[in-house]
Amino acid sequence: MDDRPIAEASRGIRRPGIRPRPSLWRQLDMSARFSFPALSTALLLLLLAAPLGLDCQAALQGAVALGCVFFRSVYRPSSMPPLAVFLLGVLADLLSAAPLGVAVLILLLLHGTAMRWRRVLARQGFIPVWLVFSALALAAALLQWLLTAALTFRLLPPGPALFIGVLATGLYPLLAVALIRAHQTLAEPDHA
């Protein structure tokens, strides 16, 4: 759960030790691992837009986006930079036929909040992080409802948006297990 080596590497600080030669293959491998979190989230969003025949696919899409962005922002912010969050938001907006910009703003705010609190959050156990996430997910759902209503000039039922918040909360433990596995293996540039 420590991203110091990457941060140092990105700042050009060299630590003593024996490292493999930075061949082209190794650099490709490292950049693939580095971009894995953002790319896998985008792929997951695309997959959830496919005709899987699930009842609440649209809500699932929103919930997964919230969970992935929050987890990565807390535990590995270097591989989920603001620009990636922005692009994920645009993708989510285009896929869900929502007013353009809503998911972008929500995901960026979630990312910003998670980044601000990550020094505290990353040291906590699973349950406190989960609680914080559920509060943030509900806030995000509320914001989505407000923004969509404001942008369509219409009073909308808040139910479907709040359902996303609840779904995101319920889904987070499952998502976290999968993301932690990926975090320690696939998405770890030091394993390259």
Partner 1 sequence: MIRLSIPVRQALARLTLPVLIAVAFGLMLLGKADTLLAERARIALSDALAPIYAVMAQPLDHVQLLLRNGRRVLSVFEDNARLRQENERLRHWQSVALALDTENARLKANLHWIPDPQAHYVTARVVADAGGVYARSVLLAAGPNHHITKGQIALDDRGLVGRVTEVGSRSVRVLLITDLNSRIPVTLEGSGARAMLMGTNGPRPRLMHWPEGVHPMEGERVVTSAEAGAFPPGLIVGTVHYSATNIPEVQPAARLDRLEIVRIFDYGLRGVLSPEAGDGPPAWHARHDRRQINGR
The reply to whether 90 sits near partner 1 by the rule CB under 8 A is yes
Q: Which of 117, 148, 171, 178 binds partner 1 (CB under 8 A)?
A: 148
- What span, in angstroms and rounded, lies between the C-alpha atoms of 55 and 134? 22
- What span, in angstroms and rounded, lies between the C-alpha atoms of 24 and 8? 21
Q: Which of 38, 65, 80, 96 binds partner 1 (CB under 8 A)?
A: 96
Nearer to partner 1, 79 or 176 (CB): 79
The reply to whether 109 sits near partner 1 by the rule CB under 8 A is yes
Residue 151 · residue 99 · CB < 8 Å: yes
Provide, rounded to whole angstroms, the least separation between the CB of residue 69 and partner 1.
13
The reply to whether 82 sits near partner 1 by the rule CB under 8 A is yes
The reply to whether 158 sits near partner 1 by the rule CB under 8 A is no
Name the residue type at position 50: A
Provide, rounded to whole angstroms, the least separation between the CB of residue 16 and partner 1.
20
- What span, in angstroms and rounded, lies between the C-alpha atoms of 98 and 109? 18
b/e per residue 83-105 (b: at least 16 CB within 10 A) = ebbeebbebbbebbebeeebbbb
Report DSSP letters for 75-96, one per residue: H-GGGS-HHHHHHHHHHHHHHT
The reply to whether 144 sits near partner 1 by the rule CB under 8 A is yes
- The footprint of partner 1 (CB under 8 A) covers 11, 46, 49-53, 55, 57-59, 61-62, 81-83, 85-86, 89-91, 94-102, 104-105, 108-109, 111-112, 115, 144, 147-148, 151-152, 154, 156-157, 160-161, 163-164
